[in-house]
Amino acid sequence: MELLNGQVAIVTGGSQGIGREIGQVFAEQGATVVISDINEQGAEAAAKELRDAGFNAKSIKCDVTEAADVENLVSQTMNEFGRLDVMVNNAGITRDATMRKMTIEEFNQVIQVHLLGCWLGTKTAADYMREQGSGSIVNLSSISGKVGNIGQTNYAAAKAGIVGLTKSAAKEVGFKGVRVNAIQPGLIKTAMTAAMPADIFAAREKEIPLGRAGDPRDIANAALFLGSELSSYITGVVLEVAGGRHI
């Protein structure tokens, strides 16, 4: 059974890492997937990979901090496919530094991409989904938004803000059949964590009750659950996918 058969999904920040894996899993489950990224070539490469494997996919360039770009992303998807069933707000960046060294520009960049980008994606998708009478919005927060991390006052603040945004939006649009939920990934094996010093990565991995770092597919499967009818009576929740770290 394909959990997203005949449905249409957008994944922002879908050219690599967790976003790319979400696109892959959604396609495997029958969805037409729109891969969106500010990196136009990367988005098209991800979409082509899906098409070459026999799935339905296309790419649309989008800067999630620009309202016009987000509106174009959603409206173009609606015009071409006639519906939008799942919106995954995944795009993000890091500009890590301690507070003493972090610049205002570095703080604002992260807030803009993560928090404003998520708000624009949620707002725009919800506008269309309300008229449709159904839809699921999945926002990517982080366990950092729950517990904080040294050198991530900007990132943790943005990711905590996504939790409040998600809960508030869920209360606003639930009566129209639109669900809004969030995922908080823990330590996941991505290009970003691969750049961590091996000893620091190993120390953090030891803190995980399940004894291992997560794989991008672990997050993609959670997104699939929240995007599909398996979670049809779930909205406004924050799903920690962290192997038990920080419980």
Give tens-digit pLDDT for 50-93. Answer: 999 999 999 999 999 999 999 999 999 999 999 999 999 999 99
- Residues assigned a catalytic role: 155
Long-range Cβ pairs for the range 74-79 (8 Å, 24+): 74/10, 74/124, 74/125, 74/127, 74/128, 75/128, 77/8, 77/10, 77/34, 78/128
Residue 140 sits at φ, ψ, to 5 deg, of -90, 110
Measured distance CA(116)–CA(105) in Å, rounded: 15
Exposed / middle / buried, residue 172 (Cβ in 10 Å: 0-12, 13-18, 19+): middle
Going by pLDDT thresholds of 50, 70 and 90, the confidence category of residue 236 is very high
Q: At what angle do helices 40-52 and 17-28 cross, to 10 degrees?
A: 30
pLDDT band at 231, cuts 50/70/90? very high
Residue-level pLDDT at 193: 83
Instruction: Return all residues near 160 (Cβ < 8 A) that are at least 6 apart.
Output: 141, 145, 146
Q: Kindly tell me if the per-residue pLDDT of 136 is higher than 90.
A: yes
Q: What does pTM read for this prediction? A: 0.97
Q: What is the pLDDT of residue 195?
A: 79
Q: How far apart are CA 203 and CA 213, in angstroms?
A: 11
- Using alpha carbons, select from 115, 181, 186, 123 the residue that is nearest to residue 154: 115
Q: Write the pLDDT tens digit of every residue in 149-208.
A: 999 999 999 999 999 999 999 999 999 999 999 999 999 998 878 878 899 899 999 999
pLDDT of residue 80: 98
What's residue 197's pLDDT? 86
> CA-CA distance, 66 to 178, in Å (whole number)?
23
Closest CA to 28 of 46, 48, 1, 67: 1
| Average confidence score pLDDT of the chain | 97
pLDDT at residue 191 in the model: 82
Percent of the chain with pLDDT over 90: 96
Residue 33 predicted with pLDDT over 80: yes
Dump the DSSP string for 185-203.
E-SB-SHHHHTS-HHHHHH
The residues pairing with 137 across neighbouring beta strands, listed in sequence order, are: 87, 180
Cα–Cα dist 22/79, whole Å: 23
Domains, in order of start, for the chain: 8-236 (3.40.50.720)
Question: Residue 83: in which H helix or E strand, if any?
Answer: none
E-strand ranges in 18-153 read: 32-37, 57-61, 86-89, 135-140
Q: What is the pLDDT of residue 217?
A: 98
